Amino acid sequence: MGYDSRTNAKDLADLMTMLGHDRFYVHGEDRGAEFAYVLAAEYRDRVLALSFREMFFSGYELDNASQLNV
């Protein structure tokens, strides 16, 4: 157990609640793109839009990125 993407998403959603934002936009880059993706997936009713760039999924490196077929 550790500080995983779902825990991060919950913390970010809680922070937005604390700041008074019921709905919000999400953007992430690099490793933050994974966190942004999970936040949007877990809190679909709160996230107005998602954008990200330079994203690789955990467990994939440049050498095996072609396995993603995207």
Q: Output the DSSP codes for the chain.
A: --S-HHHHHHHHHHHHHHTT-SSEEEEEETHHHHHHHHHHHHTTTTEEEEEEES---TT--GGGGGGG--
Task: Write down the pLDDT at residue 31.
Answer: 80
Task: Write down the pLDDT at residue 56.
Answer: 61
Task: Write down the pLDDT at residue 49.
Answer: 96
Task: Write down the pLDDT at residue 21.
Answer: 98
Task: Write down the pLDDT at residue 17.
Answer: 98
Give tens-digit pLDDT for 9-68: 999 999 999 999 999 999 998 888 888 999 999 999 999 999 988 766 665 555 655 555
